[in-house]
Structure 1
Amino acid sequence: MELNCKALHILFCTLGTNDVKETKIGLLNLEYENFKMDPNEDIKGMFNRFSIIVNQLKGFGEEISEGKLVRKLIYSLPESWDSKKMTIIEAKDLKKLKLDELIGSLLTHELMSIPLKRENEKIIKEQGVDVNIIALKSSKCKYEDSSMEESSEEDEEMAYLFKTSPGS
């Protein structure tokens, strides 16, 4: 009787463990499928998050080919990386591209683009003020022009009324 109870306990634990395992695998697969680079995230941070998900899936026995991982990472990049994505897709055979080669290429691109981004932000900041002033001046002039057109039309109407009034 005691051995039967132990055997039943082991069976129930095994069944529960399998259900939990399947649930975890399902959640990790969902996280993998919905994976995207966060807006203020760098390549290293993105890759660390990605690696955690992939390693957990592999820990549960899930097999993911390197080609599939490479494609997932490329398509997880935001729109600001579109030119680099297209360059990689056109220049490389994604079936043969290694994950570490992709990460190296992305890190290099990120490091090279940081000074350019800073320079562009500086230019935009400097020109942004001027652009706003010009836009305000332009809209002010436009407003003044339209009000002048309206007032000259009103003047003409008033002049016509005075010309055609009975005492003239």
Structure 2
Amino acid sequence: ACYPFVRLHTETVARAILETPDISQLSYGFVAGPGRYETTLTRPDLYSHYYLEQFRLLLQNHDIELEVGTSTQPIPVHFSFAENDHIEGTMNATRRLLMRDVFDLPDLGAMDDGIANGTYEPLPGEPQPLALFTAARVDYSLQRLRHYTGTSPEWFQNFVLFTNYQFY
């Protein structure tokens, strides 16, 4: 299974500027320039209100259509189970090792913060990022919350700051 995506294409930001003359004061709900933008989505049970607000503002500010589909980014098996399902505990070490041959596992090398850090450069022909974090990065962070606190992400406040432990 792969993550869903949302994509938009805009030829201009003129509508956004006409609707909001000082668009630079907006912190979300717009794209900064013409182009194709895309991101993967996860956990609508947690983010449905956030997604709907973002989509509403993008539609309002740019008068464009949103395309929703299935991405090519596989959902790692660890992120596809319900909150209290733990498959590893019932398997021996050999079977856990064989999971790598059958299922997608989290690719920690691909879960960097380049978009949020402003260092990500899409290759020619690739879309611009529509979100600061990909669905896999969000899922990984939600797993970290649960792992380190013993609390389901649904019980957390709306905003949690993740620090870069290597830096501090």
TM-score normalised by structure 1 residue count = 0.28
Bigger Cα Rg: 1
Which structure has more RCO (C-alpha within 8 Å, separation ≥ 6)? Answer: 2
TM-score normalised by structure 2 residue count = 0.28
Name whichever structure is richer in helix by fraction: 1
